[in-house]
Amino acid sequence: MQALTHEQNLTSADLKDNIQDIQDNVVAPILMRYGRHIFLKFTDGEKARAWLRNMFERVNARQEEHGTRFTVNIGFTYEGLKAVGLSQQSLYSFPRAFRVGMRERAGEVGDTGAHAPEHWEGGLGGPDIHAMAWLRTDTDEGRDLATDIIRDEMRATGGVEIRFIQDTKALAHENGIGSEGEHFGFADPISQPPIEGAAAPFYPGDGVQEADGIWRALKPGEFVLGYEDEVGREGTPSPEPFELRLNGTYMVFRKLYQDVAAFRRYLATAAKSLYGSDDQHHRDLVAAKIMGRWPSGCPVDLSPERDDPAIAADPERRNNFTYAGDDQGLRCPLGSHLRRSNPRATPLKRATAVRRHRLIRRGIEYGPHLPDGMLEDDGVDRGLVNLFIQADIERQFEFVQKEWMKGGEFIGLDPNEQDPINGVGGEGSQMSVPGARRPFLFDLPTFITVKGGEYLFVPGLNALKGIIEQKF
């Protein structure tokens, strides 16, 4: 491993020597279908450190190393770092958004009304959530086996309690292009920012486009702490000391309930209103205009009138677009989920370096699909567990959520126009769909509800050891 005592941030050339020190699911996804997110409270700092010392052996250890067919990783809330005895100096060096936590930032990111923290599950966002351990396994039984091992270790040391558990199961998408199918029926994820130096394959459209049209990966410091970022060598300068932040990252956990029946019903209403017809083609067209991709994953920017499964199946093409030549949103609406969450080359009203607001998404579905064709809710809890990875919660997750999702001004829309998927609907909500016969949707339903969330610091392995040994 590279120079842990360096005070100056590392470069992308150093990343490959550090990959083993970065927790799994950060630089590359863990491709195991079953997930469990265990939220913990540390009731006794010393005993919790003893438990963590045992857990340390399991973090990043793959099945061949410990034979249990599961991976486990761990992130801490600010309260958790306090509870395991991090020094005041290091605690204060964390950025404010992380220190106060997601609950306190609810007003900032639009978690109000039905999304407000008082409705959240399991005490999420509260002072008793100190850490999240996340498991990935191949089977349902593997998940229970892994949990039993963790529980046994808790019983052995004491000092740790389970406060909330959220399971996930990645759902396959029918087009089988290798990405997963989220509950509204779209292939996801497709577009992920690649990291320079990570030696992972990436495709046109994933990173940043240079003047010569070539796409490049982003500097590692946008996602991993202790590295140069898109502005320069300085990178994100906290937390302190350098060894604590090196190879760490921030993970934003969000449990988002999806009202699939409402979404399906609305496609017919909206198709009639926009195009005067609610036949299958127009319902699909509305879905595509709302999301910015057809359910297959084919981008609307490349195929605005109809789905093109050949594009969806081609990794060289399915993310290779910039919205160039579509400043009005005639092909892909300016307010669609995809265009808001990464506007690419769209001219924005306020000068914004889009590449500074990218998120690695490791989200997975929870709950079963609503059966095909069903238009009434069956009362089953289902949705998406978002796991966003970034170096700076305020500049990345919070900015995207607040500036790009919860308003329209940044891209030349009405200031009150919100993301049709991730915004708050209801009376007065709207979405512009240029080119349609009646180019506005009004009073959209709210399709998702925030059920809880946490801001987590996910240390590198050396830093985790240092936290356990009270080095910082």
- What are the residues binding ligand HEM (CB under 6 A)? 182, 184, 186, 188-191, 256, 258, 291, 293, 337-338, 341-342, 359, 361, 383-384, 386, 397, 400-401, 405, 421-422, 448
**Minimum gap (Å) between residue 302 Cβ and ligand HEM:** 12
Q: How far is the CB of 173 from ligand HEM (least distance, A)?
A: 10
- Contact, 71 vs 135, CB < 8 A? yes
CB of 358 to ligand HEM, least distance (A): 7
Q: How far is the CB of 239 from ligand HEM (least distance, A)?
A: 23
* Smallest separation (angstroms) from ligand HEM to the CB of 260: 10
Grouping H, G, I as helix, E, B as strand and the rest as coil, residue 257 is strand
Nearer to ligand HEM, 44 or 403 (CB): 403
Query: 186 to each of 1, 60, 82, 290, 412, how far by Cα in Å?
Result: 40, 30, 40, 11, 27
Helix (H) or strand (E) run with residue 440 in it: strand 440-442
| Helix/strand/coil for 416 | coil
Kindly state the tokens that stand for 368.
């079963």
- Please say which residue, 436 or 448, places its beta carbon nearer to ligand HEM: 448
Comparing CB distances to ligand HEM, the nearer of 10 and 190 is 190
Separation of alpha carbons 468 and 51, rounded Å = 9
- Is the Cβ of residue 223 or residue 397 nearer to ligand HEM in the bound state? 397
Question: Residue 146 is which amino acid?
Answer: A
Residue 457 forms beta bridges with which residues? 76, 250
- Min dist CB 265 to ligand HEM, Å, is 16
Question: Does residue 247 contact residue 223 with C-beta atoms inside 8 Å?
Answer: no
Q: How far is the CB of 227 from ligand HEM (least distance, A)?
A: 21
Dihedral angle, C-alpha 235, 422, 138, 390, nearest 10 ° = 0
Instruction: Kindly tell me which of 136 and 339 has the beta carbon lying closer to ligand HEM.
Output: 339
CB crowding 418-448: b at 16 or more within 10 Å, else e: bbbbbbbbeeebbbbbbebeeeebeebebbb
d(CA 359, CA 30): 17
